[in-house]
Amino acid sequence: MTIRTSTRSVTFRRPFFINGIDRQMPAGTYVVETDEKLLENVSFLAYQRVSTAIHLPPKAGYSTTLTVDPYELDAALKRDRAPAKTPVGQDVSREALKRATDLRREEADISAIHRAEDDGMIIHPG
Protein backbone atom coordinates (compact mmCIF):
# COMPACT_ATOMS: atom_id res chain seq x y z
CA MET A 1 0.00 0.00 0.00
CA THR A 2 1.40 3.38 -1.03
CA ILE A 3 0.80 6.28 1.37
CA ARG A 4 1.46 9.93 0.59
CA THR A 5 1.52 12.66 3.21
CA SER A 6 0.81 16.31 2.53
CA THR A 7 1.51 19.10 5.01
CA ARG A 8 -0.07 22.52 5.11
CA SER A 9 -0.37 25.40 7.53
CA VAL A 10 -3.73 26.82 8.52
CA THR A 11 -4.23 30.08 10.38
CA PHE A 12 -7.10 30.85 12.69
CA ARG A 13 -7.74 34.51 13.39
CA ARG A 14 -9.94 33.76 16.40
CA PRO A 15 -10.04 31.06 19.11
CA PHE A 16 -11.83 27.94 17.85
CA PHE A 17 -13.31 24.56 18.73
CA ILE A 18 -12.99 21.31 16.83
CA ASN A 19 -14.94 18.26 17.98
CA GLY A 20 -12.45 15.78 19.37
CA ILE A 21 -10.31 18.47 21.01
CA ASP A 22 -11.42 18.97 24.59
CA ARG A 23 -10.63 22.66 24.84
CA GLN A 24 -10.91 25.89 22.95
CA MET A 25 -7.77 26.44 20.89
CA PRO A 26 -6.12 29.85 20.65
CA ALA A 27 -5.88 31.80 17.42
CA GLY A 28 -2.68 31.10 15.52
CA THR A 29 -1.06 29.02 12.82
CA TYR A 30 -1.25 25.23 12.99
CA VAL A 31 0.42 22.50 10.92
CA VAL A 32 -1.99 19.96 9.43
CA GLU A 33 -0.90 16.63 7.92
CA THR A 34 -3.08 14.51 5.68
CA ASP A 35 -2.27 10.89 4.82
CA GLU A 36 -3.77 9.36 1.68
CA LYS A 37 -3.46 5.86 0.31
CA LEU A 38 -3.20 4.99 -3.36
CA LEU A 39 -6.31 3.22 -4.59
CA GLU A 40 -5.48 0.04 -6.45
CA ASN A 41 -7.47 -1.73 -9.13
CA VAL A 42 -8.84 1.46 -10.67
CA SER A 43 -8.12 2.63 -14.20
CA PHE A 44 -6.94 6.08 -13.09
CA LEU A 45 -4.64 7.50 -10.42
CA ALA A 46 -6.68 8.09 -7.27
CA TYR A 47 -6.02 8.50 -3.57
CA GLN A 48 -8.29 8.09 -0.56
CA ARG A 49 -7.80 10.16 2.58
CA VAL A 50 -6.81 7.92 5.49
CA SER A 51 -6.24 10.45 8.26
CA THR A 52 -5.89 14.13 9.06
CA ALA A 53 -3.89 15.35 12.04
CA ILE A 54 -3.31 18.77 13.56
CA HIS A 55 -0.22 19.70 15.56
CA LEU A 56 -1.18 21.59 18.71
CA PRO A 57 1.09 24.19 20.27
CA PRO A 58 3.51 22.77 22.85
CA LYS A 59 2.23 22.79 26.39
CA ALA A 60 4.71 22.37 29.25
CA GLY A 61 7.40 21.40 26.74
CA TYR A 62 5.40 18.59 25.11
CA SER A 63 3.94 18.79 21.64
CA THR A 64 0.70 17.05 20.78
CA THR A 65 -0.65 15.81 17.49
CA LEU A 66 -4.32 14.88 17.31
CA THR A 67 -6.26 13.11 14.60
CA VAL A 68 -9.19 15.27 13.53
CA ASP A 69 -12.10 14.93 11.18
CA PRO A 70 -11.15 16.91 8.04
CA TYR A 71 -14.74 18.13 7.68
CA GLU A 72 -14.60 19.46 11.25
CA LEU A 73 -11.36 21.27 10.45
CA ASP A 74 -12.81 22.76 7.26
CA ALA A 75 -15.95 23.85 9.11
CA ALA A 76 -13.85 25.51 11.85
CA LEU A 77 -11.80 27.37 9.22
CA LYS A 78 -14.97 28.47 7.45
CA ARG A 79 -16.43 29.77 10.73
CA ASP A 80 -13.17 31.59 11.43
CA ARG A 81 -13.29 33.40 8.09
CA ALA A 82 -16.96 34.33 8.37
CA PRO A 83 -17.87 37.71 9.83
CA ALA A 84 -18.15 37.40 13.60
CA LYS A 85 -21.78 36.92 14.63
CA THR A 86 -20.92 36.58 18.28
CA PRO A 87 -18.45 38.65 20.27
CA VAL A 88 -14.91 37.27 20.21
CA GLY A 89 -14.38 34.90 23.12
CA GLN A 90 -18.04 33.89 23.40
CA ASP A 91 -18.34 30.13 23.14
CA VAL A 92 -20.46 28.56 20.43
CA SER A 93 -22.28 25.47 21.65
CA ARG A 94 -20.79 22.13 20.71
CA GLU A 95 -24.24 21.03 19.48
CA ALA A 96 -24.29 23.92 16.98
CA LEU A 97 -20.80 22.97 15.82
CA LYS A 98 -21.84 19.34 15.39
CA ARG A 99 -24.93 20.32 13.36
CA ALA A 100 -22.82 22.56 11.11
CA THR A 101 -20.24 19.80 10.63
CA ASP A 102 -22.91 17.19 9.86
CA LEU A 103 -24.39 19.52 7.25
CA ARG A 104 -20.93 20.08 5.72
CA ARG A 105 -20.40 16.30 5.55
CA GLU A 106 -23.74 15.80 3.79
CA GLU A 107 -22.88 18.53 1.28
CA ALA A 108 -19.48 16.91 0.61
CA ASP A 109 -21.08 13.47 0.14
CA ILE A 110 -23.64 14.86 -2.31
CA SER A 111 -20.90 16.72 -4.18
CA ALA A 112 -18.79 13.53 -4.42
CA ILE A 113 -21.77 11.57 -5.78
CA HIS A 114 -22.43 14.22 -8.42
CA ARG A 115 -18.75 14.24 -9.46
CA ALA A 116 -18.75 10.45 -9.71
CA GLU A 117 -21.94 10.48 -11.79
CA ASP A 118 -20.46 13.16 -14.06
CA ASP A 119 -17.46 10.85 -14.57
CA GLY A 120 -19.80 8.06 -15.67
CA MET A 121 -19.81 6.00 -12.49
CA ILE A 122 -23.03 4.31 -11.52
CA ILE A 123 -23.96 4.99 -7.91
CA HIS A 124 -25.99 2.38 -6.07
CA PRO A 125 -27.78 3.64 -2.94
CA GLY A 126 -26.48 2.01 0.25
Query: What average pLDDT does the segment 40-65 reach?
Result: 85
Instruction: Kindly give the interhelix angle for 70-81 and 94-118, rounded to the nearest 10 degrees.
Output: 110
pLDDT attached to residue 21 = 79
pTM for the whole thing? 0.62
52, pLDDT greater than 90: yes
Query: What average pLDDT does the segment 100-111 reach?
Result: 71
118, pLDDT greater than 90: no
Per cent of the chain over pLDDT 90 is: 30
Query: What average pLDDT does the segment 91-105 reach?
Result: 67
Query: What average pLDDT does the segment 44-70 reach?
Result: 87
> Which strand (E) or helix (H) includes residue 78?
helix 70-81
